[in-house]
Amino acid sequence: MDTDVVVVGGGLAGLVAASELVRLGKTVTIVDQEGQQSLGGQAFWSFGGLFLVDSPEQRFMGIKDSHELAWQDWVGTAGFDRAEDAWPRKWAEAYVDFASGEKRAWLHSLGVRFFPVVGWAERGGYTAQGHGNSVPRFHITWGTGPGVIAPFVRLVEQAVVDGKLQLKFRHRVDRLVVTDGAVTGVAGTLLAPDESQRGASTSRESLGEFEIEAGAVLVASGGIGGNFDLVRKNWPERLGTAPKRLISGVPAHVDGRMLGIAEDAGAELINRDRMWHYTEGIENWDPIWPHHGIRILPGPSSLWLDATGKRLPAPYFPGFDTLGTLEHIATTGYEYTWFVLTQKILEKEFALSGSEQNPDLTGKDLKLLLKRVLPGAPGPVEAFKKHGADFAVAETLPELVARMNSISGDNLLEYETVRAAVEARDAEMGNKFTKDLQVTALRGARNYRGDKLIRVASPHRLLDPKAGPLIGVRLNILTRKTLGGLHTDLDGRVLKDDGEPLPGLYAAGEAAGFGGGGMHGYRSLEGTFLGGCIYSGRQAARGVVK
């Protein structure tokens, strides 16, 4: 035997699993098809949001949260309704226990710190038992994605120095070795070295083959978000027809290959049709990977129009219900939508997802961070406004509509339709009371001092010249997360179709639907993807030893 455990994938789940396995006395080999520059995987590129319950940061911001409220929100959001949801639901319960219990203290002991203002993602807009977070729970890591992976990178690198762990980059697994019904190793292709920058597509030139024998294999290879063919193949009917045009929120190596490879070895995949894609994607004007898109993390004030200029119905407001909005967009017959906003809204409410788009938080730069409370938009946001292919800017509404039509190239927007939507919304701003639920929501948001301080613009008319110029942003469908995956029990053991474990095979992270084969159910509360990788990675490692 070459090693106790082979971990397939050097992303966050793989790093957590490997470091925990070493702590528990096992020798580990991490194999990854990318180079050393990509250690940390997708998590490196993330905004670093983590779902925590009843945290010191929440209490400091005046937020009253509890395990019971968080579980109510999780169940209302997940919508578990399938027989195969038994293990995913158990994973969800265990994860909410973790998020409201030891998660923060454990991460803090490893050096992870948090931005003090807690964000309010997926606000819902339904009843108390429906989708969404009842309170802000989105804790931004100081250092964003790189700050999340840093302690686990350090642990793994120290384990290499100590001779307890091997890192084998440019090793692409093509099959799981199965002996007498048990997984006993991995085999695949040794790829040629490639020093392309992190995230860029790399060569698939073969230099030969490899095989590694192990006591157990732990799959932590991620999902399918960079593989548009698999995304379209698994696209659920409830979300309409799969879009012909997609942009990607993840690098091309997030290809889902290991899911099929594990299935060929006898593993069961469940909830293939559950996936998480964003509706507020914009083309990256300075791309790193193919079809590179960035998600706008919007505040609640922008007016959301469909491709023909009609306003999206309640509660499909910015930041309220990602997949509900996606499902509605499918009914319009078009694949893109529009935000209409002002410079005042842009400056206060537009954040861009991604470590590279937030140099203040990623670089832990306090001086730069202070600019978020000062007039003016963050530099990366202004850069997109200036260079982005999806941005239109104008002083008047007729000019704006004309420029928006020039971006789409299909002239679907009629000025009178857009004007009616804008003026009707503006008419609701004259009183402190309103029948417009979005106006009610944005005023209510400002009751939370975190939103009032840095997230939600003071209510104003879109056609107020003092708030201008006017801005239109075309929004595209952005692929991101796989919510289904390899079916696992609470020890991370991968199950076969008959419900029995496949000996020697474990899974964690997105490859396991962040736990169980889909602990989120149909929808996410946000901040739960990185946390799901962390929890399932640690849990699967303990399962191997157990």
Q: Which two tokens stand for residue 259?
A: 């899911």
Q: pLDDT digit of tens for each residue in the chain (546 aa)?
A: 899 999 999 999 999 999 999 999 999 999 999 999 999 999 999 999 999 999 999 999 999 999 999 999 999 999 999 999 999 999 999 999 999 999 999 999 999 999 999 999 999 999 999 999 999 999 999 999 999 999 999 999 999 999 999 999 999 999 999 999 999 999 999 999 999 999 999 999 999 999 999 999 999 999 999 999 999 999 999 999 999 999 999 999 999 999 999 999 999 999 999 999 999 999 999 999 999 999 999 999 999 999 999 999 999 999 999 999 999 999 999 999 999 999 999 999 999 999 999 999 999 988 888 777 778 888 999 999 999 999 999 999 999 999 999 999 999 999 999 999 999 999 999 999 999 999 999 999 999 999 998 899 999 999 999 999 999 999 999 999 999 999 999 999 999 999 999 999 999 999 999 999 999 999 999 999 999 999 999 999 999 999
- Entry pTM: 0.97
Residue 248 β-bridge partners: 292, 479
pLDDT of 366 reads 84
Percentages (nearest 5) of helix, strand, coil residues in the chain = 40, 25, 40
pLDDT of 373 reads 73
Distance CA(447)–CA(468), nearest Å, equals 25
Distance CA(210)–CA(28), nearest Å, equals 16
Q: Are 341 and 302 in contact (CB under 8 A)?
A: yes
Helix (H) or strand (E) holding 507: strand 501-507
Query: Is 162 exposed, middle or buried, given 0-12, 13-18 or 19+ CB atoms closer than 10 A?
Result: exposed
Q: Which two tokens stand for residue 309?
A: 């200029």
Which candidate, 220, 343, 289, 269, places its Cα nearest to that of 478?
Answer: 289
Look at the chain and count its residues.
546
Cis peptide before 315 (omega within 30 of 0): yes
Distance CA(296)–CA(277), nearest Å, equals 13
Q: Could you tell me which residues come within 8 angstroms of residue 443 by beta carbon, excluding any fewer than 6 positions away?
A: 432, 459
pLDDT of 374 reads 75
Q: Are 54 and 101 in contact (CB under 8 A)?
A: no
Q: Rounded to whole angstroms, what are the CA distances from 141 to 44, 188, 308, 488, 536?
A: 12, 36, 39, 28, 19
Q: Are 525 and 73 in contact (CB under 8 A)?
A: yes
Q: Which two tokens stand for residue 127?
A: 């009843």
Which candidate, 295, 269, 246, places its Cα nearest to that of 529?
Answer: 295
Distance CA(203)–CA(200), nearest Å, equals 10
Cis peptide before 88 (omega within 30 of 0): no
Residue type, 437: L
pLDDT of 234 reads 97
End-to-end CA distance of the chain: 19
